[in-house]
């Protein structure tokens, strides 16, 4: 009887450890080699991502730090450094100049939606709208969100298409979806 009680306790302990381990996997994904903590806001997490140094520099140059530290909720479509590198040579340097601040603000705010939209929300909205859902960003840009086969893409006003490479990075003031292209407003 005592041996069976020990077995039950051992199995219970193993199941408890498995449940705790499973919970750890449900946490936010790492982004740019850094943990993304749900208790931190968009800016406090983004500054730790090695993949988002260009985006962080642009947000600072545009004067949008306090906005993105605000209550939100925000959905930020966060292009990685490689997305900025893919822009024509000199584009980023030009946008970071003080005289181009308005254009930089426009581009960056075209990556922000004034709501917390998880990938499941985006998929549902897209499916409810026949496969593509139109949304207006904080910057007044139109984006078209598409969900197909578990993959989410975003088409910008210029016809560029970005893929969501890391979805549902929960923040204290919203959510970040990492994307592989800079979204551009129609110029």
CATH classification of the domain holding 49: 2.30.180.10
Examine residue 157 and state whether it is found in any structural domain, yes or no.
yes
Examine residue 26 and state whether it is found in any structural domain, yes or no.
no
Full residue range of the structural domain in which residue 61 is found: 31-179
Examine residue 68 and state whether it is found in any structural domain, yes or no.
yes
> pTM (2 decimals)?
0.83
Q: What is the 3-state secondary structure (H, E, C) of the chain?
A: CHHHHHHHHHHHHHHHHHHHHHHHHCCCCCECCECCCCCCCHHHHHCCCHHHHHHHHHHHHHCCHHHHCCCCCEEEEEECHHHHHCCCCCHHHHHCCHHHHHHHHHHHHCCEECCCCCHHHHHHHHHHCCCEEEEECCCCCEEEEEEECCEEEEECCCCCEEEEEEEEEEECCEEEEEECCCCCCCC
Six-digit token string for 93:
């340097």
Position 17 scores a pLDDT of 33
Position 176 scores a pLDDT of 95
78 vs 12, more confident = 78
102-127 residue pLDDT tens: 999 999 999 999 999 999 999 999 99
26-49 residue pLDDT tens: 588 889 888 898 999 999 999 999
Examine residue 11 and state whether it is found in any structural domain, yes or no.
no
Examine residue 22 and state whether it is found in any structural domain, yes or no.
no
Examine residue 117 and state whether it is found in any structural domain, yes or no.
yes
124-183 residue pLDDT tens: 999 999 999 999 999 999 999 999 888 999 999 999 999 999 999 999 999 999 999 999
Examine residue 62 and state whether it is found in any structural domain, yes or no.
yes
Examine residue 109 and state whether it is found in any structural domain, yes or no.
yes
Q: How many whole angstroms separate alpha carbon 12 and alpha carbon 68?
A: 44
Domain count, the chain: 1
């Amino acid at each position: 009887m005592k041996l069976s009680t020990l077995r039950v306790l051992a199995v219970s302990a193993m199941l408890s450890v498995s449940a705790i381990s499973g919970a750890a996997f449900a946490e936010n994904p790492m982004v740019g080699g850094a943990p993304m903590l749900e208790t931190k806001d968009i800016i406090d997490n983004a500054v730790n991502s090695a993949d988002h140094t260009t985006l962080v520099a642009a947000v600072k140059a545009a004067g949008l730090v306090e906005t993105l530290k605000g209550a939100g909720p925000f959905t930020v479509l966060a292009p990685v450094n490689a997305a900025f590198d893919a822009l024509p040579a000199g584009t980023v340097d030009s946008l970071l100049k003080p005289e181009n601040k308005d254009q930089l603000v426009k581009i960056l705010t075209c990556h922000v939606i004034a709501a917390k939209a998880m990938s499941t929300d985006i998929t549902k909205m897209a499916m409810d709208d026949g496969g593509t859902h139109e949304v207006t960003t904080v910057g007044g840009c139109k984006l078209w969100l598409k969900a197909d086969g578990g993959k989410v893409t975003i088409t910008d006003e210029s016809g560029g298409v970005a893929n969501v490479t890391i979805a549902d990075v929960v923040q204290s003031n919203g959510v970040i979806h990492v994307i592989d292209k800079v979204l551009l407003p129609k110029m």
